[in-house]
Structure formats: C-alpha cells, structure tokens
Amino acid sequence: MSEQSLQGDPASPSVGRWRRVVLKISGEALASAASDETIDAATVGRLAKEIATSCSELGTEMAVVVGGGNIWRGTTGAGEGMDRAASDTMGMLGTVINALALQDALERAGQPTRVLSAVQMAQVCEPYIRRRALRHLEKGRVVILAAGMGSPYFTTDTPAALRAAEIEAEVIMKGTHSGVDGVYSADPRVEPDAVRYERIGFMDVISQDLRVMDMTAIAFCRDNQIPILVFDIMQPGNVRAALAGEQIGTLIS
Ligand code: UDP
C-alpha cells in the first residue's frame, strides 16, 4: 500500500479518499435493540440509504461482507454439543439471509447490487468468482459477499480480509455496532479512562490482544498490508465520513 493510494488524489476533493473498499457488517448491525426482529427493516433501510448515497456521491467501489451473528453463530451450537462443521454451515446460511435483506434494501435505495455467495445457491444468487466480483465493482454495483469463505471454522472477519486482498481493496472498514467507536487501550465500557487510538499498528493490536477483529483476519491483513478502519457504523453519517477519509474511528495499519 503506497502512501499515495492511502491519501487519494488531493486534486479531486469530490472523489472519496478510498477508491475500493470492503465493508464488514456484523449481522447484529442489521438488528435493533428497539425491536425483537432478527432483521430490523428500519435499521437495514437506514444503512442501505447511507451506503447507496455515499458510494454514488464519492464514486467508491464497495464490496460488503455480511455476518450472520443475529441469526446463528457456529460456536453457539458447538457449545451445546453440535457438530462444529454443521453448526458453522448454519451460520454461513444465516449470512445469505442477511445478504438478501441488504440487497433488497440497497436496491430500493436505487443502488444496483449483486449477491455473490461462497456456497453455491444457483436459484438465489451468483457464486463467488473473483473476476466476476471485479467486473460488478467496475460497473458501479455494490457486491454483497455471502457465506463467508464457504468453509467452517471461520467467522466472516477472515473472508472480509481474504476478499479484500483478492479484489485489491485499499481498506477493510469494520463497522462496529456495540457503541465502541474504534480501538481503545482497554474496553471503554468497563474502563472509562480507556483512550481511543486514531492510528495503531498491527503488531500493537496483536501484542496487546485488542479484540477488534478475529486474530486470523488481523494477521492476514498485516501480512498483506491491508489497513483496517474500525468505526461505529450505527452513527448516522459515519459510512460517508469513513469513505471520504475523514478522521473517525481507528485506522490499523
Ligand atoms: N461462518 C463460517 N465460515 C465463514 C464465515 C462464517 O463457518 O467463512 C459461520 C460461523 O459459524 C459464524 C457464522 O457463520 O459464527 C456467522 O458469522 P459471524 O460470526 O462472522 O457473524 P457476525 O458476528 O459478523 O455477525
């Protein structure tokens, strides 16, 4: 990652700082504390509008990796004695449900999309094929990546990192939904004196065991020099600010 591409083109202020991004959205960011629904239509609609408007105004190419934690996590079933691979497969299928909800909301907001799944589901969406993903991005479609890696024993953080490398995204944007708006020296919900870092190195995140993303994903991003922006995705306006390269959240690089 050259410093040039990190900073974008200052002569074109209307072009977002980041040209191509992977946005990682946890399943729980599609739910709402205010409703019992697994997927809250108002929450998904708000997020979709913000993504659609920001990508079109800033010219950003975006692939979204959706999680499935609002529906099922492999560790939940495994903790109760289920076969881990079967339980993880249920989790992957949950991400497809979320992907379809996000697709619907994005298209209603006027944003063309394609869902590409790592588990083939020919009647529902396209299979993940790297070159096809690139073509969709070039055509201005938001690519929604479902079913993670297609393999058990991972969470969706790791496919977010892998796909970012494959499609040559400049950054992974990890949207948080817990009210914690970046990487802190300690959990700010437990320790009020914790400080938020504006920038932090991969090695510090690893050595201090700061749990912002799965360590497999962090190590992959370090090895492949893919920066990660951690920011609060539930705060209206933050998706645009993140894409525009404004100083929000924490940049791990
Ligand atoms: N999963 C998997 N392989 C993958 C991605 C996800 O087996 O490559 C399963 C895993 O069980 C995980 C679940 O899908 O718990 C949902 O994904 P994740 O926990 O990442 O969802 P999030 O927390 O982001 O909502």
How confident is the model over 178-204, as pLDDT tens digits? 889 999 988 888 999 999 999 999 999
26 lines ligand 1 (CB under 6 A): yes
- Residue 103, Cβ density class (10 Å: 0-12 exposed, 13-18 middle, ≥19 buried): buried
Question: Which ligand 1 atom is nearest residue 66's CA?
Answer: 24
Average pLDDT of 87-94?
A: 98
Q: What's the whole-number mean pLDDT along residues 146-158?
A: 98
pLDDT on residue 50: 98
Q: What is the mean pLDDT of residues 16-21?
A: 88
- Beta carbons within 10 angstroms of residue 17's beta carbon: 21
Residue 195 Cα to ligand 1 midpoint, Å, equals 29
Average confidence (pLDDT) over 28-44? 91
The CB of 74 under 6 Å from ligand 1? The reply is yes
Neighbours of 81 (CB within 10 A): 7
Residue nearest to atom 16 of ligand 1 (CA): 68
- By most ligand atoms within 8 Å of CB, the mutation choice from 43, 92, 216 for ligand 1 is 92
152 close to ligand 1 (CB < 6 Angstrom): yes
Nearest to 66 by CA among 116, 111, 7: 116
CA-proximal residue: ligand 1, atom 13 (nearest): 91
73 lines ligand 1 (CB under 6 A): yes
The SS3 assignment for 102 reads helix
**pLDDT score, position 109:** 98
Ligand 1 lined by 25 (C-beta under 6 Å): no
Given a cut of 70, whether residue 11 has pLDDT beyond it is no
Q: What is the pTM of this model?
A: 0.93
pLDDT over 50 at 3, yes or no: no
CA–centroid distance, 66 to ligand 1, in Å, is 9
Q: How many residues does the chain have?
A: 253
Express as a percent the part of the chain with pLDDT over 90.
85
pLDDT (tens digit per residue) in 42-65: 999 999 999 999 999 999 999 999
Ligand 1 binding pocket mutation candidate from 88, 92, 155, 213 (most atoms within 8 A of CB) = 155
**Please, are residues 252 and 212 in contact by the beta-carbon 8 Å criterion?**
yes
Query: 250 in ligand 1 pocket by Cβ < 6 Å?
Result: no
DSSP character at residue 141: P
Tell me what pLDDT residue 15 has. 37
> With 80 as the cut, is the pLDDT of residue 1 above it?
no
Q: Is 249 in the pocket of ligand 1 (CB under 6 A)?
A: no
- Stretch 111-120: mean pLDDT, rounded? 98
The pLDDT mean for the chain works out to: 92
Task: Report the half-sphere exposure of 240 (CA within 13 A, side-chain side).
Answer: 14
Percent of the chain at pLDDT exceeding 70? 94
